Chains A and B, each alone.
Chain A
Amino acid sequence: MNTEVTLCGIKLKNPVLAASGTFGFGREYNEFYDVGRIGGIVGKGLTLEPREGNDGTRIAETPSGMLNCVGLQNPGVEAFIKDELPFMLGRGCAAIANAAGSTVADYERIAERLDGTDVDMIELNISCPNVKNGGMAFGVLPKSVEEVTAAARKHCRKPLMIKLSPNVADIADNARAAEAGGADAVSLINTLTGMAVDLATRRPVLGNVTGGLSGPCVKPVALRMVRQAYKAVKIPVVGLGGISTAADALEFILCGATAVQVGTANIADPFAALRVVEGLAEEMEKLGIKDLGELRGALAD
């Protein structure tokens, strides 16, 4: 059974990555299992300077999902490089840095800084819904997706993956814009903007009023968008949104994903990403396939 995949020239022992913001930098879950057993870790979203994130309530449960408005709390790129990256690099799986900014110049500088490190890949978050100017502005219009991608591209030689927002008019246009800007891959979806309200107090539940919806409830939207992106571009597509089992992961691969990410499922179950990895062989056997390449994109639509 071959679960190995190659993503932008990087060999992954399996296609399962931990999604940004749900896995810290891997330390917490490494206390439960050797996180080197998954395909790779995407670290918490980084900004040039440390950020405290949003005040007030940051999480609300929803039917089969959750809303969050963490607001990119992170130690900043320099502290990441010094304190967290060595740990990620020592795990024996791919180390992917996720970065966000408020201006094109921020994206250029952070891409340049990360390019000078040993990270395997950079995922640009141009779609964080939870901070003002948190990249979401860049993620909406195809023109700005292309612009910010091209700007970061000029400053880094490492594989560059653009994380697309689902809160857009046409996901295919945005995937094409990332490709045109020089992206090596696109990942999708980030969270869907949503809200929870408290009838009794007549107030929003979240401190930031709105938050990003994730978890099993977003999977149908994510599958649809991954399929559209796959058809729109030639670069690899990394699929995520509501994956909690190996079968879920294979559904994304069937729609065209080269690799997948597991996010909210880690929050619900500390072993989630590992369980997805461990379940792959059995699910592949059920389908009578020996290599993930046999399934990739093969949806008969």
Chain B
Amino acid sequence: MKDVPVKVAANEKLYDGAYMLTVEGDLPPFSPGQFAMVEVPSGERILRRPFGIVYSDGRKCGFLYQVKGGGTRALTRLKSGDELKVLMPLGNGFPVSGGKVAVIGGGFGVAPLLSAARGCAEAGAEVRVYAGFAAAEKTLLCDRFAEVAKTTVCTDDGSAGFHGFPTAALEADMAAGFKPDVVLCCGPEPLMRAVKRLGESRGIPTYLSLERRMGCGVGACLTCTCRIAGHNKRVCKDGPVFPSTEVEL
């Protein structure tokens, strides 16, 4: 955990409302599924914004972000060479295991899953990725996922890949004999709810990466809590990844 001064190397628009921010600096190592608190270049916004770490090689690291409100809009104005601070790596991250691993995400939720898929593949796992998007022009990171694992791109409108939700694609594979030992998931709440149901109904350990509004990102302010196994736990420090059985969705 370090507060790293970084320089913007690139801030690339992927499509309207989707950007990849690449920063350069002396970056600490991270575990798959961990996140960063990124400083927003806007005087009146005092809080940093949490983003999953898409990749980091110690020199460069990437964040995939969706333009949602004023803070992320301010981020789009960053240019190469601009300086900012990035607090990372934060949180617990996904469990990395061998065996058979299903990685399932939707929309910007795929951001922390690339490192998870890579980590499991490097640990010798048979990894299958199911990545769901609204339409072909909204797909994210698909080539990168395909480099590390067998990837099924899914679109809600069928304009690319599998026509339907990623849970349906996973269920189809399971019907064809794929038996994952573990499921790793991040995405919008309806997806996580469906994945929780799917994993638990088959007795497969399932892990969900949660999102909460955050203050400090390091466990001190208790503003990011979520009901976990009946108690309010800090998503930033005790999570963001929790076993699905402990999460009420």
A248 CB, min distance to chain B CBs, angstroms: 13
Instruction: Verify if A219 is at the interface (C-beta below 8 Å from B).
Output: no
State whether B213 touches A59 (Cβ < 8 A): yes
State whether B3 touches A268 (Cβ < 8 A): no
A-B contact count (CB 8 A): 86
Restricting to B50-93, which residues have a CB under 8 Å from any CB of A? 71, 85, 87
A60 to B215, CA, bound (A): 9
Q: A53-B225, A270-B3 are in contact. Are A66 and B215 (CB under 8 A)?
A: yes
A31 to B227, CA, bound (A): 26
State whether A70 touches B46 (Cβ < 8 A): no
B142 CB, min distance to chain A CBs, angstroms: 31
Partner of B222, one of A58, A64, A266, A268: A58
Which residues from A are CB-within-8-Å of B3?
32, 269-271
State whether B218 touches A28 (Cβ < 8 A): yes
Instruction: Verify if A297 is at the interface (C-beta below 8 Å from B).
Output: no
Chain A: how many interface residues by the 8 Å CB criterion?
A: 33
- Residue among B45, B46, B214, B232 with the highest chain A CB neighbour number at 10 A: B46
B239 CB, min distance to chain A CBs, angstroms: 15
Residue of A nearest to B49 (CB): A61
Chain B: how many interface residues by the 8 Å CB criterion?
A: 28
Partner of A55, one of B43, B223, B227: B227
Instruction: Verify if B136 is at the interface (C-beta below 8 Å from A).
Output: no
Instruction: Verify if A22 is at the interface (C-beta below 8 Å from B).
Output: yes
Partner of B220, one of A215, A216, A266: A266
Instruction: Verify if B184 is at the interface (C-beta below 8 Å from A).
Output: no
Instruction: Verify if A68 is at the interface (C-beta below 8 Å from B).
Output: yes
Instruction: Verify if A299 is at the interface (C-beta below 8 Å from B).
Output: no
Which residues from A are CB-within-8-Å of B71?
61
Q: A53-B222, A267-B215 are in contact. Are A61 and B46 (CB under 8 A)?
A: yes
A134 to B215, CA, bound (A): 22
B36 CB, min distance to chain A CBs, angstroms: 13
Partner of A66, one of B46, B220, B224: B46
Restricting to A14-37, which residues have a CB under 8 Å from any CB of B? 21-24, 28-29, 31-32
Partner of B216, one of A58, A63, A266: A266
A161 to B25, CA, bound (A): 44
Instruction: Verify if B221 is at the interface (C-beta below 8 Å from A).
Output: yes
- Residue among A23, A44, A64, A269 with the highest chain B CB neighbour number at 10 A: A269
Partner of A70, one of B44, B219, B222: B222
Partner of A268, one of B47, B223, B231, B237: B47
Instruction: Verify if B229 is at the interface (C-beta below 8 Å from A).
Output: no
Which residues from A are CB-within-8-Å of B44?
63-64
A84 CB, min distance to chain B CBs, angstroms: 12
State whether B221 touches A70 (Cβ < 8 A): yes
A66 to B219, CA, bound (A): 17
Which residues from B are CB-within-8-Å of A22?
216, 220-221
Partner of A28, one of B45, B220, B231: B220
B44 CB, min distance to chain A CBs, angstroms: 5
Which residues from A are CB-within-8-Å of B1?
31-32
State whether B232 touches A52 (Cβ < 8 A): yes
Instruction: Verify if B118 is at the interface (C-beta below 8 Å from A).
Output: no
B85 CB, min distance to chain A CBs, angstroms: 8
Instruction: Verify if A264 is at the interface (C-beta below 8 Å from B).
Output: yes
State whether A68 touches B46 (Cβ < 8 A): no
Which residues from B are CB-within-8-Å of A73?
222, 225, 232
Q: A29-B220, A59-B224, A73-B232 are in contact. Are A268 and B46 (CB under 8 A)?
A: yes
Which residues from B are CB-within-8-Å of A55?
227, 232
A57 to B213, CA, bound (A): 7
Which residues from A are CB-within-8-Å of B237?
28
State whether B231 touches A58 (Cβ < 8 A): no
Partner of B231, one of A31, A52, A57, A65: A52
15 contacting pairs across A/B (C-beta < 8 A): A21-B221, A22-B216, A22-B220, A23-B220, A24-B221, A32-B3, A52-B231, A57-B213, A59-B213, A61-B45, A64-B43, A64-B44, A73-B232, A266-B220, A270-B3
Residues of B within 8 A of A (CB): 1, 3, 43-48, 71, 85, 87, 212-216, 218-225, 227, 231-232, 237
